[in-house]
Amino acid sequence: MKWRTIQMKLILASVILLMVLPTPAPAQPSNDETTLIEALAKTDEVIAIAQEIVMESVSQKARISLGRAKGLQNQARNQFDSANRVFRSVLQLTLGARQEAWHAIGMARSDTKTAGQLARTAEETYNRLLKLRGMLIDSGVKDRLINRLMDESRSLLEKAQINAHQLRLQLALKLAQNARTLSIQADGRFRNIRNLKILAERRVELLERLIERSRERVAEHGNEQATRRLVMAGEQLEKAKDLLREGRYHAARLALEKCEKILRNLIRQIPSKNTSDPGRLLDEINRLLERTEEIVSRRGDIDPKAMELIKQGKRLMRMAEEEIAEGRIEEARRLIAEARKLFRRAAEVDKDGLNGEKVSSEIERIENYRNELGPIIENCTAPGAATLMDRGDDHLAKARKHLEDDKLRMATAEAHIARNLYNRVREACTN
């Protein structure tokens, strides 16, 4: 069934309606055969249009209504052909048939719209679940709640399909919408968990390098207490790795934070012995580089400008090492100072306050707000509320797509549009 074709037929039907609307009957109607012939012919036109529209729809109710229209029209014609023709009776029957035909068109149009919404919702949900399954496999993310939400969403889609086959379209649409809500929740949770996993893995790499550097510093001083603290940091790092493998990402983050705190305090308490040594300056700049990379990675998405500044700083560090090897200490110090400035600038870059984690959190808040409207919209009789809800859902889906493509500004804009539409739904249904 082509929706555009049905739309054109509905428009044609509306035009014919304007042409065939009955005029008020006079107080003393004339038994005019021409008037009855015209009235019967116009009703036949409406029934013919209804026949085409209803047969292309999935509405069983519209088919029943169309059958009643045909029955009334047959009665009208039988009376018209009878010898005891009564003008008013024939006219009432054919006008009743015409009204019933328009009623059938209206029901077909409503169910066709519902069927279209159902198809779009089911396809969107199915594609999201399919894509999410692939992302789970590729990312290695482990989370029972995500899997449960996905299973429940698939189950609701199957129930929606069964009800659609039985022509219970409204119930099927509601089930599909609930399935979509669960799939959106699963998708949002996956993205948050994946960001947490990526961040934890990056911090593991950074802390491994930091432990190696701390081990060298502790070896220079031979401090037993520092050695014990270094062992504690290593234990926390290994614990974090185990937790990551088990899929316990929040617990892994806490272990990493403990490890980092131990190491930072350790480095501050045991400074390098030679404060004027260029090698010490390189050591400090390396720590600044590690800290900068960590700050940038925490934002959830990697800012190209920040990465370019880090790249330039690393190049200056390599040049400084070469200058130290050649004995040109002052030039090395100058290069190190320039690298430090670049790293600090990289740490300050924040994409005008936008990053993947912030945008994802904002979308998740709007999704939760949307879910809160569920009980309200179910009992809402305000005209247009359901349409506003559908539009909001479409913009929210676009926001998720833009976020996935790293188009943060567009994702934020679509999310805000969705939120505004949901606000309008709440206002319409609570006033």
114 contacts 170 by C-beta, under 8 angstroms? yes
18 contacts 69 by C-beta, under 8 angstroms? no
Can you give the three-state secondary structure of 305-371, one letter per residue? Answer: HHHHHHHHHHHHHHHHHHHHHCCCHHHHHHHHHHHHHHHHHHHHCCHHHCCHHHHHHHHHHHHHHHH
As a whole number of angstroms, the distance between CA 357 and CA 389 comes to 26
Q: Is the pLDDT of residue 286 over 70?
A: no
Q: Is the pLDDT of residue 223 over 60?
A: yes
308 contacts 331 by C-beta, under 8 angstroms? no
- Cβ contacts of residue 104 below 8 Å, gap of 6+? 50, 54, 62, 63, 65, 66, 69
Across residues 286-302, what is the average pLDDT?
Answer: 62
As a whole number of angstroms, the distance between CA 395 and CA 387 comes to 13
322 contacts 336 by C-beta, under 8 angstroms? no
Confidence (pLDDT) at 151: 92
Give the range among 111-125, 266-280, 361-375 with minimum mean pLDDT: 266-280
Its pTM stands at 0.47
- CA-based torsion, 291, 297, 298, 303: positive or negative: positive
In which band, very low, low, confident or very high, does the pLDDT at 156 lie, cut at 50, 70 and 90? very high
Confidence (pLDDT) at 26: 41
* b/e code 95-119 from CB counts within 10 Å (16+ = b): bbbbebbbbbbbbbbbbbbbbebbe
Give the range among 80-89, 188-197, 253-262 with minimum mean pLDDT: 80-89
Confidence (pLDDT) at 42: 85
Across residues 423-428, what is the average pLDDT?
Answer: 82
Choose between 167 and 295: higher pLDDT. 167
